[in-house]
Amino acid sequence: MANFTIQRAASAHIPTAFGDFQLVLYTNNRDTKEHLALVMGEVAGKSNVLTRIHSECFTGDVLGSLRCDCGEQLRRAMQAIADAGAGIVVYMRQEGRGIGLRDKLYAYNLQDAGYDTVEANELLGHDADERDYTIAALILQQLGAQSVRLMTNNPSKINALRALGIRVTERVPLQPTVHPYNRDYLDTKARRMKHWLELPVLENAVTGNGHHGKRNGNGHR
């Protein structure tokens, strides 16, 4: 991480439906994106801080899209932190597993044509997951968390953070609500990306445009 630097640029008190947080905005020397940390309580110098590294998902986080579980994961993470009284959500501007919103929409159309999330990304010239967690690790270090309990279903995220020097002492599952609109997307994450998910059997799946189909979805957790 020697070539990466971040700077705490601004912060403000943010009351939410889950409780009061401090929203901290960071700039960096790698990109022009404004990555964020949503912090509740005292985390500096603390061990086992309940933490979520959440990659931006405009469709799920803002619009409430049912094609993925991203918005649900964000809300559940904020609620869990509120219940614990302290914790961190690092909000990374890495839309669509790093491919950006435009290509994510293109990927949706490919998924509606029958490709899964991995195949759609690859057809667009991307890797299955192009996210980088270096800035997230730097933010956790800047906030002073000594170790974290990470809310995730993604083993690659844990491995990446540990490789960057972050002590992950426990994985806290975020089991999604499974329904026909996201079932095939979640199946792809479990089957092809090795996410830890417990998926019930649903008789039918539907595509994002409301028609019955084989595959759908393009969240990124």
Two structure tokens written together for 144: 């002073």
The rounded distance, in Å, linking the Cα atoms of 131 and 54 is 11
122 C-beta neighbours (distance < 10 Å), count: 15
The rounded distance, in Å, linking the Cα atoms of 131 and 129 is 6
* Contact in structure between 42 and 87 (CB atoms under 8 Å): no
> Active-site positions?
129, 131
Sign, CA dihedral 212-215-220-221, equals positive
The rounded distance, in Å, linking the Cα atoms of 188 and 172 is 21
Two structure tokens written together for 106: 């293109």
Half-sphere exposure of residue 161, counting CA atoms within 13 Å on the CB side? 27
* Rg of the chain in Å (alpha carbons): 17
DSSP state of 180: T
29 C-beta neighbours (distance < 10 Å), count: 10
172 C-beta neighbours (distance < 10 Å), count: 17
Q: Hey, what amino acid is at 82?
A: A
